[in-house]
A and B are shown apart, each in its own frame.
Chain A
């Protein structure tokens, strides 16, 4: 309703008039407005802390094998979440696994974003044959079941976390390209973009200073969702035996191997699975929340 937003806009003016809060404070008041940002943010923050401070947080050496202590139950012999099939401490492995899984999620999404955003911007802004070509490429990639393409790429590139990241990055960019393109197409008709042209801005300036910042909200949303998708995709690749090279280990790898023991030592698959689920949940909540907030802040309708 036109009425309500008008009120909100004016409300903000009044609030601002009273005192000019600092950027940090603005940020926090911004966050505290959304439960999903708050919860998602906290989850993601915890995971990131786990990854950064893995050596401090972990209770054991995640690589040390103790064959005599194989498959211990959680809490047994001081192992918080038990041990895996080599007698390695599962908790520590999950803490260290955060590094790899986050790396897979974030770097591959960054790569997809890089490709997708640039192609989407170009296709959306210039249109015409350039758009046709880019969209045909998108169609081509989309026609593959994504996982299949990832499998083929990993097979071609060879195993290893870097290659998994590259493969996932090369597979998942189409979504970003489509979303960015759609946004650019509507944005470029907006008056402020036309205004930028009337003041003589060149295409580069318009694309990167005017259009791109205004596509950020959807990019953040699909990007955070993408991180979750990438983490799960990596787990699936691990399940199919592609990907990580030991002794490195992601959650997906731990989970895929834990599946072999699901009947006798379910904790081996449950905890890494939970780690994945919680992380994906965190990123999704964060993304959703950020979208809701930016939408209500900057848009009128």
Chain B
């Protein structure tokens, strides 16, 4: 197994294989299980060291659930998650704690993700306390160091989250993710709650930090322009499944899956000249509790064929480095 991987220069940090999360639907007096919400339904991808993988999708497509399974906030129903070759989907207790250090998360809502009653200092000290890292003085030093790194004044250390603006809060959230020197950072919509001008500040910061600490990002967002900017490779999710995965350039310049195409075209652009023709999808995303038979996208797909209603397309490498799940290819 390793042999194959070693051929590539890039070393995989995280390998996810056929990851699933099914939430049971119950009915009746005795809570009989009658079905399942397939929030995530067979997810497979790899992230290499130092790389940024973007996951794009609309709300409810399962991207956040996937992130939370990887970081073990929720248990997966099926599938494997390997970090540097070690299976982490089923470990618990001490082993899990040890692994947790390596994966950290930046949350969407910078206000909700900070304990409102803790000062910044306390928030940043906590991870070190939990793991018993360093002495108090070292810890404090690290806190101030990190504050500087994320562009906050040291004097802010004793303030509470509500005393900051959104951008500043997200900087604190990023600092917290960095305290334990993780290998992988999962950023779940880290900028979608921020104003445009602040958004770019934070994205810049994330990029700077990646360079400095050689971080690997799993970057989850619904905003194509952000992912286009920051990611190396992009996975597009729809109804719990990846419909397309490719290098960024390939994906944006030559989207294969009709959904990817629609998504890219739907994003409003500032360009006033040579506006492109937009593809407007009809209808809503179907419910993951009752996904359509065949290709999950066929209900909205402008290029749907008969086979799409019957057979689920396989996820396969269509061109080199470009994987798609579509009957067109």
- A: which residues have CB within 8 A of B? 9-10, 12-13, 16, 190-192, 194-202, 205, 209-210, 213-214, 216, 297-300
Contact = CB atoms under 8 A, between A and B. Distances in A.
Contacts of B162: 9, 12, 297-298
Query: Interface majority SS on A: helix, strand, loop or mixed?
Result: helix
B180 interface: yes
Given A192-B112, A205-B130, A298-B117, A197 B164 contact: no
A196 B115 contact: yes
Interface centre among A191, A196, A201 (most CB of B within 10 A): A191
A106 B114 CA distance: 33
A13 B111 contact: no
Interface in B109-135: 109, 111-117, 126-127, 130-131
A230 B160 CA distance: 35
Given A12-B163, A298-B162, A200 B127 contact: yes
11 contacts: A190-B113, A195-B105, A195-B113, A195-B114, A198-B103, A199-B100, A200-B100, A200-B127, A214-B117, A297-B162, A298-B160
A9 B103 contact: no
A191 B190 CA distance: 12
A209 B113 CA distance: 15
A102 B202 CA distance: 53
Given A191-B109, A201-B126, 8 more contacts: A9-B165, A10-B165, A13-B163, A190-B112, A191-B108, A195-B107, A213-B117, A299-B116
A10 B166 CA distance: 10
Interface string B139-163: 0000000000000000000011011
A198 B108 contact: no
Given A10-B165, A16-B163, A198 B104 contact: yes
Contacts of B111: 300
**Which label, helix, strand, loop or mixed, suits the secondary structure of the B interface?**
loop
A9 to B, nearest CB: 6
A214 B116 CA distance: 8
B112 A191 contact: yes
A195 B112 CA distance: 10
B163 A9 contact: yes
B179 interface: yes
Interface string B150-193: 00000000011011110000000100100110000000000000
Contacts of A195: 105, 107, 113-114, 173, 176
B71 interface: yes
A132 to B, nearest CB: 12
Nearest to B97: A200
B309 interface: no
A17 to B, nearest CB: 10
A12 B68 CA distance: 34
A199 B179 contact: yes
Contacts, number: 78
B126 A196 contact: yes
A199 B163 contact: no
Contacts of A201: 126, 130
User: 3 nearest interchain CB pairs?
Assistant: A191-B113, A199-B127, A191-B107
B131 A200 contact: yes
Contacts of A214: 115-117
A254 to B, nearest CB: 41
Contacts of A196: 115, 126
B308 to A, nearest CB: 37
B8 interface: no
Contacts of A200: 97, 100-101, 127, 130-131, 180
B73 interface: yes
B105 A198 contact: yes
Nearest to B103: A198
Nearest to B73: A194
B130 A194 contact: no
Interface string B60-100: 00000000100101000000000000000000000001001
Contacts of B160: 298
Nearest to A9: B162
Given A199-B100, A201-B130, A13 B165 contact: yes
Contacts of A297: 162
Contacts of A216: 117
Nearest to B96: A200
B164 A13 contact: yes
Contacts of A9: 162-165
B267 to A, nearest CB: 24
A297 B115 CA distance: 13
Contacts of B115: 192, 196, 210, 213-214
Nearest to A5: B162
